[in-house]
Structure 1
Amino acid sequence: MVFERLKNKEQLYTVVVSLLGMCIFATEVDIHSQSLKDWVLVYILTGSVVLLNLFPIILPPKANSFSMDSAVYLATLFLYGLNFTLQVLFIFSLIELYRNQRMSAWRHLFNFSMYCLMISGAYYSFLFFDGNIGKINVHHLLPYLISLLVYFSIRRVDYPIKSKGYRKKSTFPVECE
């Protein structure tokens, strides 16, 4: 009974996160605002994210791994803004949907939505603390630190149930990496 209630909460959480992420993407992205030169850069950055996901960094001793795609997303966010970064994320998500067909489409949608929430949270916190998009200011690091904190804090919210030990019997979506 506990696991069935837990499963329903997880499904509700998945639906809410997916809808929020799609709404953010729909309201923030303007595909027509990019020039041809910008689209070339979007494709190059997407290619770098694809490569970073194909070759993860392996951590001993248990062979855990992580990818550096977040570094590309955050650097793109600081230099080019939210619209540009979400376009890179969208194209990468389409490639990943095609490349990893073993994973269900709703899991891809959830991961895309989580990244939309993380990127937009980092963007607005960066702006709130007087960060300037397109200008790297090494003498004013607070906006960068806060946006990184927000980005990774939102990333950890994707596992509200993991800390209670129910993860093994759960059907909750895969990690956002």
Structure 2
Amino acid sequence: MATELGTPGIGGLDEVEDALRRWQRDEAPLQLHPGDLGWYRRRGARACAAAVRTWRRRGRVLAVGLLDGPGLLRLTTAPEARHDEELARSVVEDAARPERGVLGVGTVYVEAPTGSLVQDLLAERGWRADESWTPLRRDLAEPVEDPGLRIEVAGPERARVWAAVHRSAFEGSAFTASHWHAMAGGT
């Protein structure tokens, strides 16, 4: 059966987040995370759903992509599907053809798990590796020593201040108190 490209809609976001949650492994290569969708929801559930792409076979989600802007597809697959040739060919073909609605025309990027067949097939089609990310992780089995920093919870009453700090830290950020409320409310 063929792999089908789709967009989940607002009602399908929970299923996509559940799939991402099941696929998380500390030892796995860099991967799209359910928290990435949560962060994207600061733009609202409708915008988040519109930015998500799924690849399914027999109704099962095998790959999830997040359009993190018009030229970047952040992709991961079910761990057992990292070398599924039919899936990888479908993802690569969809990413390479703007009319398929995954990536636009011009310079575009695909972030795919290291060692996945998707990366190999992209390279065969002339795609080049770009800067790699350095994922950092920390074992939290033991308590983390106090670094001596003051940490405050920013509740709804401080959303405006939190948004201003965020904008000052990230050049070009358009984060607002409304975005904070949307993200915190899961809408």
- Give TM-score scaled by structure 2 length: 0.26
Q: Which has the higher contact order (CA 8 A, sep 6+)?
A: 1
More helix by share: 1
More strand by share: 2
**Structure number with bigger Rg:** 2
